[in-house]
Structure formats: C-alpha cells, structure tokens
Structure 1
Amino acid sequence: MLQIEERAVVEAKAPGRPGDSEKITINLGFVDLGHIDLLVSEGVYANRSDFIRTAIRNQAERHAEVTRQAVARNRVELGLRHFTRADLEAARDRGERLHIRVLGLASIAPDVSPDLACETIASLDVLGSLHASPAVKAALHDRLR
C-alpha cells in the first residue's frame, strides 16, 4: 500500500516570545492536511502552524497531570534553564558535578568552554531543545540522554 504524505515544516513558538522557536518536520496525510486548510480558509486558524501549535497545546493541557507527575518524579526542571560560565565555575569550585534534567529549553552560554562543560556536567537530559556551542555539544555527546 502506497501512502502519499506531504511534509510540512512547523515553527513551534512560545506565546509572546517571537524568535524563541525550534523547527520540526511532520508528515501529514492529504486528508489531515485538507482538514487543516479548510479550518484556515474558514478563519478558525490564521495558518497551518497556528492550528498545529494549538493542537499541541490542547494535548499537553489534556495530559497535564501526567506531565506534572513525571516532572515531580524525575526531578525535571520545567521551562527555560540557562547555565552561564559563572554558574559552571561556581559548581566546579564547590566540587559539584551537575546532573541537568530539563523539560523545555536548556542553554549553555556561548563563552563556556568544552573543558569547563566536561568538568562540571556529569549528565544532560533534555526533553525539548539544547542550545550550546557545537564544541560544547560535541564534548558532552557521551553524557546526553
């Protein structure tokens, strides 16, 4: 059976935070895509991305209790977590190794060296997106879950 699908690039933006987004690619069948386009043409949604973002938010809200329990059980930080060079240097000076667990966006400042990241970050578990220099990402590759 041959299934024809259209690939759509969706830009998932946080409300009120233009530019803070991650692009994803999804496959949609023509019928699903037609339903979306109909709702857009009827003015229910501004565009395809608006529909998909709304659907994702609705599903996340529908399963909010599961998320809440998982965040509490797994000790995951929810939202945006930014690590500066000063944060990592302070951890190093305390002899502390960080186990970073974030649901959302984890970012490591551009001035953090790969050596400092390796010295201070024992593990990195990000459900969402990790923003860091290519060199830091490469250095932490074996610690990413």
Structure 2
Amino acid sequence: MDGTMEALEDMGHETPIRIGTRAADSEKITVNLGYVDLGHVDLLVSEGAYANRSDFIRTAVRNQIAHHADITRQSVARKAVELGMRHYGRAELEAARSSGTTLDIRVLGLAVIAADVSPDLARATIASLEVLGSLQASPAVKRALADRLR
C-alpha cells in the first residue's frame, strides 16, 4: 500500500473516515459523514472515479482550498505567514537568544520545533506561535509554549 489509510468499514453508525498519506508529510484526521453522503462516496469509489474514500476526501479538500484561494492569499498578505514547512532548530533559537530577539512564529502548513530544543530555550525565544496546520514539537515544549499559542 502507498501509505494511504483506508476508511473504516463500520456501516452501523456515522462512519469516521481516516485520512492520511505518510506520517512525515501529513496528519491523520477523522471526518464523520451521514449515511447518504457516505453512500455517494462509496458509489463513486465503486464506479472507479476515486481509488478509495481517502482519495475522494483529499480531492474534495483540495478543491475547496482552490475554490477559496483568494481568502488564503489575502490573509497571508495581511499577516506575514510562512507557507509550507518551517523547521526551527536549536542553533537558530540559540542565535536569537544570543542577539536578544524573540520570534513571532506564524506558519500555514507544518511548523517543527526540533527535538533538541529545550522548553526553556523555546520560552526564551518564541514570543508567540500561530500554526494553521500542524505543530510538531516535544510535549514538554508544547506545554512550555501553551500560553503563547494562538
């Protein structure tokens, strides 16, 4: 399998559908669909329009993102948001601490705070943190920055 998570097959309730590709470049979410919507998805899959439920949902999400692209562009222009993946390593944060500067981090996508960044270093150098997407950091660093998350 190519890393795609297949949908759950429990048809007795609103069925949660898990979405994901590879752990390194995606985050799994759960979507609850009503029976009729789920039936439509399954019909499209059985007719070969989509490889599986996850393929359908990823395509639908991408179509909606494209449909609302102007909102994203305007927001990014107003807020100085970094798009994509942004990695913050210990050396970068130590350099900020040495120069007496703090970071206001805004990422649309994936923000990664390296595993070797201590909670104390993170608190000393990160003034605010807003991630639209996913934040990867140690549990200790996430706790240390909890009051700075937007």
**Normalization by structure 1: what TM-score?**
0.91
Query: Which whole-Å deviations, capped at 9, do the CAs of 1:50-71 have from their partners, x for residues lacking one?
Result: 0000000011011111100101
CA distance in structure 2 between the partners assigned to 1:144 and 1:18 by the alignment: 23
Q: Is the 8 A contact 2:127 2:148 kept in 1?
A: yes
Pick from 58, 63, 72 the counterpart of residue 68 of structure 2.
63
Number of residue equivalences: 138
> Which amino acid counterpart does residue 49 of structure 1 have in structure 2?
S
> Which amino acid counterpart does residue 89 of structure 1 have in structure 2?
E
After TM superposition, the structure 1 = structure 2 runs for residues 1-145 of structure 1, keeping only pairs within 5 Å, are 5-11=14-20, 13=21, 19-145=24-150
For residue 18 of structure 1, report the CA deviation from its aligned partner.
Answer: 6.7
CA distance in structure 1 between the partners assigned to 2:23 and 2:17 by the alignment: 20
Higher strand share: 1
Query: Which whole-Å deviations, capped at 9, do the CAs of 1:1-31 have from their partners, x for residues lacking one?
Result: xxx52222222x4xxx674210111110011
> Which amino acid counterpart does residue 99 of structure 2 have in structure 1?
R
SS in 1 for 2:28: strand
Runs of 4+ in 1 over 3 A off after TM superposition: none
> Which amino acid counterpart does residue 94 of structure 1 have in structure 2?
S
> Which amino acid counterpart does residue 141 of structure 2 have in structure 1?
V
Identity %: 71
CA distance in structure 2 between the partners assigned to 1:9 and 1:54 by the alignment: 14
CA distance in structure 1 between the partners assigned to 2:146 and 2:25 by the alignment: 24
CA distance in structure 2 between the partners assigned to 1:125 and 1:18 by the alignment: 22
CA-based RMSD: 1.2
Q: Could you tell me which runs of 5 or more consecutive residues in structure 2 were left unpaired when the two chains were aligned.
A: 1-12
For residue 122 of structure 1, report the CA deviation from its aligned partner.
Answer: 0.4
Query: Which whole-Å deviations, capped at 9, do the CAs of 1:97-135 have from their partners, x for residues lacking one?
Result: 100000100000000000000000000000100000111
